[in-house]
Structure 1
């Protein structure tokens, strides 16, 4: 037993020197991330910065534009907006997944190359009149564009805005759209927040292929060190009786004593956050159920394609009323629709052929969602309020910034994977899918790591107080460990004083 304790103490001591530095960094950067997230362009921001579509503009109809550009076949997506180079364009994504195609809506000419001039035009349209622009060249990836969602847009053009926020825009090298904005304050705070928290210094270089494994194994090492430290702390704490100093802790030095005490107080929260951070990485794809993909084309009643005799863009803009920033053609339950979007996230739903405002038939939509899976529908729940699996977060957070409309349908399928589909009954849009594995991830990551618990989220600043106080406790535990480790390393690595040499005795003449 004594041999086991010795190895337990030694392993915790020396492994903790490295791991405590990462713990401290994770706790401090996690507090920053509560208020400043990784740069993103939310859907709301994108719509607010899109210039309005002019109802009197001379534009080709969607089928005319596709024919003029020589594009045939089914589509995955079709939008009309003032996006690329400040021009009104159709952005078409073929169903074969070959990437987006940009078509000038006035001439039908495909825009095949995004150069400096076009990128500057897009940035000018995004920024609005009177804002100066500075072109900063192209890049494939930098500290603020590691997101894999941007892979389809690389290389990216950088444009700096001469505005109060010193905003940097990233323009797609494929479509010419602005795909990310990053004000200077957001960029600076990210070096103390998400950039260091997610170990992004390891991204984009020689270690990039190993980034996920490094994060995974470092988290596993952190879990092991926390468990060993908890065991050591419990073994050294006197629950009955006291040491000679009168304390229940044997350590007399300030740092050692408070590392012991904070370790006992905050070991559980440290273990929880390190474990849930590991779960955020979906290590070795443990949350992938292998369930088949939902059959969205079957739900939609066939592939997307502008119907014969489709209403003109001008008619659609006029029918929507108000200011329209984007027209989005879609197909659901066998009907061709157009979603006319303004600055608000909730679009006006129009019939694609007649341009008349329309509503989906509930029975037809129920029949359509049943075709999403080969498994039968167990039930359809109507959500009029958010719950533990469908809820909103602040726009800057990892899961925030998206459109979470209400009411929605939760379609529950009777299959082995426990598949759920969330559907917007107003637009027929499939919002997301979930299964038992993903719901496990919700609890093991989002709940344990960010405390996505609605009673707390709905009672801010109670959530803020709990997160900040626990983070400070974890940081105190970690920083005391860093100081202890630094001092111990200093003693071990310091050169030892040379031994004092005693000269040999030489007898004198007086003492033979």
Structure 2
């Protein structure tokens, strides 16, 4: 039995050691340069102030004409002109001219170029064409905006902007530095060479089954390493390891030192893919809960004219860059956002005259209860600092820049799925839903893969040193495995066997 496990470890290593080495190198790169994305701070900083005098005479008709699938509505400026951007079930995006209320049927190359130059004023640019997907736009978040217009900017960073063909908004930016580092970062780490081509349909399975095989390889390595190590006594010559050849000896010793953390890195990467839906509990999705509780926009009345709302926000000191329609606890609100992410709420049904900075915990707790009516609230807590289940990461990281700042309200329920809801106290938005399966996933993926324990993250550069040390250990195991595997293949290579009879005959 041991012999078969040795052989399985050996030949899995021949197949996968190089991939694992690339994963460790690219993982360190991703600590500092993430996959290109346009985060909320960048997007808001690039938006001009909304001009109340130019828009919105038809906002009420815009909403009443919208189908029941409407999930969200925002007023923004695109290429200097006000525009409604509507999001529907299934993430379909439509845009309407905010002056006339007419649909934006086509976003041409010229329109996309104008939007990009408004996003980066004073910078020359040229339209490079439209595309469905390229190396920097694999994210599912962009699916609703495809095909995308690619705009090359002539700034010092050689930024590429991607413009939605649905709304005309800039939806992604990628600087030359990001693009260069990502060839050895996220593009390799996520096996994106298999995306966008003939193997695109199989990418998910390649990642999942490749990660399973690499996890088995690593576990077998730890097992074999322990079996072969003399904890009591020594081999002939006084060594604890039976291997005299340098590469084999180092592979054995490094495997004992870093083998378990290598297993956790590979396994947690597998869990990021939610293989076989193991992290899905069967609980209703958040969208289903909102629809059942009447949380759609059609269930509330927006009667306050947008022009007047913008003026009230301005009188309160907030220059609005984006205005969003919201249904919070069955009440209509306008959510206004400023250049630096500051926000305020205003009742949109005429019931409130003054913007407020947020909603009270009692109102949001009642709204949370309405979303999970079948269960009893077992706890409600206002979070004012990061904890193990709600914390901020750097904007360039995979989850960074996507969570509202504190405070947030956490509401816990006693339903069979042990559901938690997090609600943003500034906007009233339900940020996420965490059931027991998803909380387990936080540990099986996020913690094991990134060691994102808030107490450790607060001690940078200690976190950096820890992550780099573990990654270097995994890299050394993988690199020695590559050398050992290459030597093994060279010895077994069929041409060597084929040349031997010829040399004997000569």
Output the TM-score relative to the length of structure 2. 0.92
Distance in 1 between residues matched to 2:91 and 2:267, nearest whole Å = 39
- Given the alignment of the two structures, is residue 217 of structure 1 paired with residue 216 of structure 2, yes or no? no
Distance in 1 between residues matched to 2:256 and 2:363, nearest whole Å = 59
Tell me the residue number matched to 1:371.
370
Matches within 5 A, 1:111-130: 111-128=104-121, 130=122
SS in 2 for 1:46: helix
Distance in 1 between residues matched to 2:379 and 2:234, nearest whole Å = 61
Tell me the residue number matched to 1:32.
29
Tell me the residue number matched to 1:43.
40
**8 Å CA contact retained: 1:81, 1:326:** yes
Distance in 1 between residues matched to 2:467 and 2:252, nearest whole Å = 22
Aligned-pair CA distance for 1:305: 6.8
Distance in 2 between residues matched to 1:311 and 1:418, nearest whole Å = 42
Tell me the residue number matched to 1:231.
223
Distance in 2 between residues matched to 1:289 and 1:455, nearest whole Å = 29
Change (3 A) 1:301 1:110: closer
Tell me the residue number matched to 2:173.
181
Give CA deviations for 1:465-504 in whole Å, capped at 9, x if unaligned: 00001100110111011011112212222524444459xx
**8 Å CA contact retained: 2:279, 2:438:** yes
Q: Paired residue for 2:101, among 103, 108, 114?
A: 108
**More divergent stretch after superposition (256-265 vs 278-287):** 256-265
**8 Å CA contact retained: 1:56, 1:314:** no
Tell me the residue number matched to 1:134.
126
- Given the alignment of the two structures, is residue 7 of structure 1 paired with residue 4 of structure 2, yes or no? yes
SS in 2 for 1:118: helix
Aligned-pair CA distance for 1:302: 5.8
Tell me the residue number matched to 1:436.
436
Give CA deviations for 1:393-449 in whole Å, capped at 9, x if unaligned: 111111111133222111111100000111123322111111000001001000111
- Given the alignment of the two structures, is residue 16 of structure 1 paired with residue 13 of structure 2, yes or no? yes
- Given the alignment of the two structures, is residue 313 of structure 1 paired with residue 307 of structure 2, yes or no? yes
Tell me the residue number matched to 1:288.
280
SS in 2 for 1:210: helix
Output the TM-score relative to the length of structure 1. 0.91
Distance in 2 between residues matched to 1:311 and 1:272, nearest whole Å = 55
Aligned-pair CA distance for 1:360: 3.7
Aligned-pair CA distance for 1:238: 2.1
Aligned-pair CA distance for 1:39: 0.9
Q: Paired residue for 1:92, among 78, 86, 91?
A: 86
SS in 2 for 1:410: strand
Give CA deviations for 1:187-236 in whole Å, capped at 9, x if unaligned: 11111011111111111222222211111111111122222222222222
**8 Å CA contact retained: 1:348, 1:357:** yes
Larger radius of gyration: 1
Tell me the residue number matched to 2:344.
348
Distance in 2 between residues matched to 1:362 and 1:394, nearest whole Å = 28
Change (3 A) 1:206 1:410: same
Q: CA RMSD in A?
A: 2.2
Tell me the residue number matched to 1:490.
490
Tell me the residue number matched to 1:147.
139
**8 Å CA contact retained: 1:57, 1:314:** no
Distance in 1 between residues matched to 2:463 and 2:410, nearest whole Å = 28
Aligned-pair CA distance for 1:340: 1.1
Change (3 A) 1:101 1:225: closer
Change (3 A) 1:24 1:57: same
**8 Å CA contact retained: 2:332, 2:349:** yes
Tell me the residue number matched to 1:303.
297
Distance in 1 between residues matched to 2:277 and 2:51, nearest whole Å = 47
